[in-house]
Amino acid sequence: MTTATGSNAGTSVKRVAVVMGLRTPFVKSGTGFAELSAVDLGAAVVSELVQRSEIDPKHIDQLVFGQVVPAPLDTLIGREVGLRSGLPKRIEAHTVSRACATSIQAMVAAHDSIALGNSAVAIAGGAESLSDAPLFASRPLAKALIEASRGKTLKDKVGAFRKLKLGDLAPLPPAIQEPTTGLSMGESAEKMARENGIRREEQDRVAFESHRRACGALEAGRLKDEVMAVYVPPRYQKVVAQDNLVRKDANLEALAGLRPVFDRRYGTVTAGNSSPLTDGAAAVLLMSEERARELGYKPLGFIRSYAFAALDPGEQLLMGPAYATPIALDRAKLSLKDLDLVDMHEAFAAQILSNLQAFGSREWARRKLGRDEAIGEIDPSRFNVNGGSIALGHPFAATGARMVTSTLRELERRQGQFALVTLCAAGGLGASMVLERT
Ligand SMILES: CC(C)(COP(=O)(O)OP(=O)(O)OC[C@H]1O[C@@H](n2cnc3c(N)ncnc32)[C@H](O)[C@@H]1OP(=O)(O)O)[C@@H](O)C(=O)NCCC(=O)NCCS
């Protein structure tokens, strides 16, 4: 039997439940998962999610998965993760990408399919291995290699390389850079800090708070049921069981001592107040509310609304949350003060502070959104309560799924009702999702 997800005209929209979520530990790239690919990590998390949820794979209709820095040899990560995780081969799959909001995009694709009745049970998520980032040949070297492969004689083949300079032989890493502006993410964060008057000390305080809260969550065991241990292939003797980026000893003095990375002379963005390069994967199990009930699941919560938005990357690249959130809140028929929790992806402390500034500003709302009222001030006791991407790490495509799982579990702990998860992403994109518990 094969699964098919297609259009299903005339059906009413179904409410979509998040039944369970799980992630691998998030580790600094080049450490515990250095030998693994994004597909390995994605397959590990999907297979464990299926086991822990005890879902009979025969009920799963669809897998949607994403990766931001593509692996040229595993181009269709959605399908590869399905095949490698031991799921039945009949489960259809596809791949999505929306930069740092990729696993939100995966959830939205699955959500829409379920809401329209085209599928009833789906797994959505994302994986990233920056340890396994592809290296590219320079343009002249690539041209020479193609020319050589077409050469008929040895002389033709050797001749193809004659014009190369020594520098052409160096491999090129993928750029974390905006093609339209030429600025890296870190340089864009510097620009936001400068234009919004955000001081270094404020950024370091955000970073410190991220570590303090993440540390508190880990020590209290609040994250333990959402983080699996990974037995590292091929021998499965080494086990990676914990996040390794959270610093117990984080302190403001050490943060203040770090040198700026992206503008070495006048900058304020450092390795300490940026999200680090990270490997990891995360996934969620989604179902229509009625299928969850039929199968006897008590959902963690439901997706109430979502919105994506975009701004000119040449402005302030990482302001996506301030653009997408008011739309998601309107769609949810809620306002910021109705939310028990807000989780905002911490790409950089400067981006967090810039967005918080915009959220609280009526003038910004008028100028940028054409709205009369500010989005609202966020109560710090409800904001990024278990730390964020600065402390926990940011495997690009996995972060959204981590945030959704963690937020829904915290909402339950607090017996709250509504929460917001929001992310900035490359290209000036923003993603916001409103979650509800009952
Ligand atoms: C900022 C960045 C360049 C730093 O890379 P890196 O130099 O490899 O980072 P490291 O982890 O080695 O940290 C550099 C130093 O700062 C120190 N450091 C980092 N965080 C620290 C903290 N909270 N407190 C104290 N020291 C800290 C490290 O220990 C290290 O010290 P060392 O050189 O003595 O070993 C990299 O993390 C990056 O590019 N981040 C941004 C990623 C990005 O663009 N994401 C997209 C967002 S949407």
Atom 15 (ligand 1) nearest CA: 271
Predicted pLDDT of residue 75:
83
364 belongs to a structural domain:
yes
Strands 341-344 and 16-23: unpaired
Examine residue 219 and state whether it is found in any structural domain, yes or no: yes
Name the DSSP class of 271. S
Nearest atom of ligand 1 to the alpha carbon of 176: 44
Answer whether 424's CB lies under 8 Å from 432's CB: no
Distance 92 CA to ligand 1 centre (A): 39
- CB neighbour list of residue 318: distance below 8 Å, 6 or more residues apart: 185, 188, 189, 192, 347, 348, 351, 354, 355, 424
- Residue 10 — left, alpha, or beta (φ > 0 → left; ψ -120 to 50 → alpha)? left
C-alpha count within 13 angstroms, C-beta hemisphere, residue 254: 10
Question: How remote is the CA of residue 261 from the centroid of ligand 1, in Å?
Answer: 9
- Is the separation of the CB atoms in 357 and 344 below 8 Å? no
For the chain, report the end-to-end CA distance as a whole number of angstroms.
35
For ligand 1, what atom is nearest to the CA of residue 394? 45
| Domain presence at residue 253 | no
Chunked into runs of 10 residues, the chain (438 residues) has average pLDDT values of 53 92 98 96 98 98 96 88 97 97 98 98 97 84 89 90 88 79 96 98 98 98 98 92 97 98 97 98 98 98 98 98 98 98 98 98 98 97 98 98 98 98 98 96
Smallest Cα–Cα separation from 284: which of 101, 128, 65, 14? Answer: 65
Residue 233 lies in a domain: no
pLDDT (0 to 100) of residue 135: 77
Residue carrying structure tokens 């918080």: 356
284/401 Cα distance (integer angstroms): 7
Per-residue model confidence (pLDDT) at position 10:
57
The ligand 1 atom nearest the CA atom of 247: 23
Closest CA to 189 of 431, 426, 433, 432: 426
Number of domains in the chain: 1
Q: Does any ligand 1 atom lie closer than 6 A to the CB of residue 133? A: no
Count other C-beta atoms under 10 Å from residue 213's C-beta: 19
Active-site residue, selected from the candidate residues 111, 211, 215, 424: 424
Q: Which one from 59, 94, 100, 215 is the annotated catalytic residue? A: 100
Q: Measuring from atom 36 of ligand 1, which residue has the nearest CA?
A: 276
Give yes or no for residue 183 CB within 6 A of ligand 1: no
Asked if residue 289 lies in contact with residue 306, where contact means CB atoms within 8 angstroms, the answer is no
Confidence at residue 136, expressed as pLDDT on a 0 to 100 scale = 79
Q: What is the largest CA-CA distance in the chain?
A: 75
Residues 41, 46, 52, CA angle at the centre, nearest 5°? 125
Residue 250 forms part of a structural domain: no
Among 327, 342, 356, 325, CA closest to 406: 342
| Buried/exposed 284-309: b ≥16 CB within 10 Å, e otherwise | bbbbbeebbeebebebbbbbbbbbbb
The answer to the question of residue 333 being in a domain is: yes
Classify residue 310 by its DSSP letter.
E
Give the angle subtended at the CA of 242 by the CAs of 351 and 62, to the nearest 5°.
75
Q: Which residue's CA lies nearest to atom 2 of ligand 1? A: 271
Instruction: Please indicate whether residue 215 is annotated as part of the active site.
Output: no
Residue 434, SS3 per DSSP: strand
Question: Which of the listed residues 209, 258, 392 should we mutate to test ligand 1's pocket, taking the one with most ligand atoms within 8 A of CB?
Answer: 258
100 noted as active-site residue: yes
Q: Which among 184, 352, 353 has a CA at the least distance from the CA of 261?
A: 184
Q: Which amino acid is at 211?
A: H
Residue 180 lies in a domain: no
- Over residues 206-222, the pLDDT tens digits come to 999 999 999 999 999 99
Report the distance separating Cα 42 and Cα 37, nearest Å: 9
Asked whether the beta carbons of 252 and 205 are under 8 A apart, the reply is: yes
| 17 CB-side CA count, 13 A | 20
Beta bridge partners of 63: 93, 123
**In this structure, what CATH number is given to the domain that contains residue 204?**
3.40.47.10
380 lies in a domain?
A: yes
Among candidate residues 348, 318, 334, the one with its CA nearest the CA of residue 431? 318
Q: Is the Cα dihedral 325, 331, 332, 338 positive or negative?
A: positive
pTM score, two decimals? 0.94
Percent of the chain that is helix, strand, coil (3-state, to 5):
40, 20, 40
User: Could you tell me if 149 and 131 are in contact, meaning their C-beta atoms sit under 8 angstroms apart?
Assistant: no
Range of the domain at 431: 185-223+303-436
